[in-house]
């Protein structure tokens, strides 16, 4: 599994992690087993949020990582409605309890709400000083939101921006990815295998996969992480599927193959930050 420096992380983090959105809808034992299998295969970046199942998924993640917490780069998120200064502190403490840990490696604002960003970021810094979080970042921020956040906190603070990014939705490459690369902020792709319509069928992708002895999904994940600042957190609640996801970690695409994929899934004009 390839690793890279992730924002404010003091150590390298695997390029591929495991997402847990909607995992409260899955068979619990199988979901726990899937997370454990991901960790076993080196997908040590485990992402969750207080939103998911109203805390149920954080509890599930806590169960899955029990006994191996020190191996894992653990990420969770605060809801915008809870992101006042005091509310962020309270939400973080609740997440820590559900996760069964004393420290979150990276704590994110799930999306921008009505509360002042300055309050949220001040709380993040306080939590970092207390050792309750290692770093902090944002999610679903476009380049203008990122620029405003940067003006508030300065360089070296915004560890990552977690955004929707898959073959059918590449528009963050226009503005969001370049901004993050310039400012040392990692891009974390959620739903990297597609949203709503699911994973796309493509003759070109299938042909490339055969050449690499891989699956189309593995090729898609390798393509999305071709940028040095980009990570991906595909979700699976099936241990057998996790093996396929982890297999993408060894694939490095050459320039010609990247050009083939870009031609098969052309970059649309910028239309603002994508949403599900």
Pairing, β 3-5 against β 12-14: antiparallel
- The CA-based diameter of the chain, rounded to the nearest angstrom, is 54
- The residues facing 18 across adjacent strands are 46
Is 52 noted as a catalytic residue in this protein? yes
- Which one of 52, 107, 165, 190 is the catalytic residue? 52
Active site residue ranges = 52
């Amino acid at each position: 599994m390839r690793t890279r420096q992730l924002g404010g992380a003091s150590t390298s983090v695997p390029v591929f992690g495991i997402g847990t959105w909607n995992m409260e809808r899955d068979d619990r034992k199988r979901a726990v087993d899937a997370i454990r299998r991901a960790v076993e295969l080196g997908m040590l970046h485990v992402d969750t949020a207080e939103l998911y199942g109203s805390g149920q998924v954080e509890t599930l993640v806590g169960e899955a990582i029990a006994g191996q917490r020190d191996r894992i780069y653990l990420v969770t998120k605060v809801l915008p409605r809870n992101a006042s200064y005091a509310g962020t502190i309270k939400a973080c403490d609740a997440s820590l309890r559900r996760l069964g840990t004393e420290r979150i490696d990276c704590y994110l604002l799930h999306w921008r709400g009505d509360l002042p960003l300055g309050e949220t970021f001040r709380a993040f810094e306080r939590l970092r000083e207390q050792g309750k979080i290692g770093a902090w970042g944002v999610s679903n921020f476009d380049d203008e939101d990122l620029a405003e956040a940067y003006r508030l906190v300065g360089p070296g603070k915004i560890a990552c921006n977690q955004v929707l990014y898959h073959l059918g939705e590449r528009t963050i490459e226009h503005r969001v990815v370049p901004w993050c690369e310039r400012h040392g902020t990692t891009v974390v792709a959620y739903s990297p295998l597609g949203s709503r319509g699911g994973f796309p069928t493509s003759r070109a992708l299938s042909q490339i996969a055969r050449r690499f002895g891989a699956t189309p999904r593995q090729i898609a994940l390798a393509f999305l992480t071709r940028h040095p600042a980009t990570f991906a957190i595909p979700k699976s609640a099936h241990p057998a599927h996790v093996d396929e996801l982890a297999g993408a970690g060894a694939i490095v695409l050459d320039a010609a193959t990247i050009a083939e994929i870009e031609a098969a899934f052309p970059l649309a004009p910028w239309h603002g930050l994508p949403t599900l």
